Amino acid sequence: MPTRALRVPPIAGLAILVIAAVAAMVGALLYGGGAAPLLIADPGPVVRWGLPTATLAVNLSAAGMVGSLVLALFALRAGTRPFDTALDVASAAAAIFTVASATVAFLTFVNIFNATPSAGAEFGQQLGRFLVDTDVGRAWALTTIAGAGLTVLTFAVRGWTPTLFVTALAVASLVPMATQGHAGDEAGHNTAVVSLTLHIIGAAVWLGGVLLLVALRPRLDRDELADVLGRYSSIALAAFVVVALSGVARAVVGVVAWQNLLSPYGAILGVKVVALLAIGALGAAYRVRLIARIRTDATGPGARRFWGLIALELAFMGIASGAAVALARTPPPVDTKLPAVPSPAEVLTGAPLPPELTPLRWLTSWDIDVLWAFAVGFGVFFYLAGVWRLHRRGDRWPIYRTVLWLAGLALLFWVTSGSVNAYQDYLFSMHMVGHMLLSMAIPMMLVFGAPVTLASRAIAKRSDGTRGGREWILWGVHTPFARVITHPLFAAAMFIGSLWAFYYTDLFRWTLYDHLGHEWMVAHFLISGYLFVQSLVGIDPVPYRLPYPFRLLTLIGVMAMHAFFGISIMMSTGLFVAEWFGSMGRTWGEPPLVDQYAGGGIAWSIGEIPTLILAITVAIQWSRSDD
Q: Is the pLDDT of residue 449 over 90?
A: yes
Sorted by sequence, the CB contacts under 8 Å of residue 325 that are 6+ apart come out as 21, 25, 28, 52, 55, 56, 59
Residue 389 confidence (pLDDT) above 90: yes
- Where is pLDDT greater, at 462 or 610? 462
| Distance (Å, whole) CA 34 – CA 48 | 8
561-579 tens-digit pLDDT: 888 898 999 998 889 999 9
- pLDDT tier, 53 (very low <50, low <70, confident <90, very high otherwise): very high
Name the band, by pLDDT with cuts 50, 70 and 90, for residue 303: low
Strand partners, 221: 2
CA 556/CA 570 separation, integer angstroms: 21
Task: Calculate the CA 523 to chain-centre distance.
Answer: 12
Of 488, 362, 492, 504, the closest CA to residue 433 belongs to 362
pLDDT tens for each residue of 229-254: 888 888 988 999 999 888 877 776 65
Q: Which amino acid is at 475?
A: W
Angle between helices 264-285 and 301-329 (to 10 degrees): 160
pLDDT at 1: 42
- 3-state secondary structure at position 202: helix
Neighbours of 357 (CB within 10 A): 18
- Tell me, what's the pLDDT at 166? 96
C-alpha 479/C-alpha 474 separation (Å) is 9
User: What is the C-alpha separation between 271 and 274, in angstroms, rounded?
Assistant: 5
Supply the mean pLDDT for the chain.
86
More confident residue, 143 or 545: 143
pLDDT at 103: 95
Rounded CA gap, 434 and 415, in Å?
6
What pLDDT is stored for residue 428 in this prediction? 94
CA nearest 145: which of 135, 131, 158? 131
Give the pLDDT score at 56.
94
- pLDDT of the residue at 55: 93
3-class secondary-structure state, position 76: coil
Q: What is the mean pLDDT of residues 41-58?
A: 88
Residue 184 scores a pLDDT above 60: no
Is it the case that residue 2 has pLDDT exceeding 50?
no
Q: Are 365 and 422 in contact (CB under 8 A)?
A: yes
Alpha helices in 3-118, H assignment, sequence order:
10-32, 45-75, 81-113
Lowest-pLDDT range, 227-241, 365-379, 523-537? Answer: 227-241
Per-residue pLDDT band for 98 (boundaries 50, 70, 90) equals very high
How many C-alpha atoms does 61 have within 13 Å on its Cβ side? 24
Give tens-digit pLDDT for 185-234.
Answer: 555 567 778 888 898 999 999 999 988 988 888 787 777 888 888 888 88
Element (H, E) at 538: none
Alpha-carbon torsion 249, 253, 259, 265, what sign? negative
Overall size of the chain counted in residues:
627
- For residue 421, is pLDDT > 70? yes
Find the Cα–Cα–Cα–Cα dihedral 379, 381, 382, 384, rounded to 10°.
Answer: 110
565 versus 305: the higher-pLDDT residue is 565
Question: Is the pTM for the entire model greater than 0.75?
Answer: yes
Strand partners, 337: 186
- Return the half-sphere exposure (C-beta side, CA atoms, 13 A cut-off) of residue 394: 0
Q: Are 323 and 62 in contact (CB under 8 A)?
A: no
Q: In the structure, what pLDDT confidence band is assigned to residue 3 with cuts at 50, 70 and 90?
A: very low
Amino acid identity for residue 477 in this structure: V
- Give percent above pLDDT 90 in the chain: 44
Find all residues with CB under 8 Å of 162, minimum gap 6, and list them. Answer: 153
Burial group, residue 358, by CB count within 10 angstroms (0-12, 13-18, 19+): exposed
Bridge partners (DSSP) listed for residue 2: 221
Confirm if 547 and 489 have CB atoms less than 8 A apart.
Answer: no
Res 100 pLDDT > 70: yes
The residue type at 372: W
Task: Work out the percent of the chain whose per-residue pLDDT is above 70.
Answer: 89
How many Cβ atoms sit within 10 Å of the Cβ of residue 290?
Answer: 19
Q: Are 476 and 482 in contact (CB under 8 A)?
A: yes
In whole angstroms, what is the distance from residue 581 CA to residue 605 CA? 23
Predicted confidence (pLDDT) per residue in 241-299, tens digit: 999 888 877 776 655 555 566 678 888 888 888 888 888 887 777 666 666 666 666 55
**How far apart are alpha carbons 327 and 31 in whole angstroms?**
11
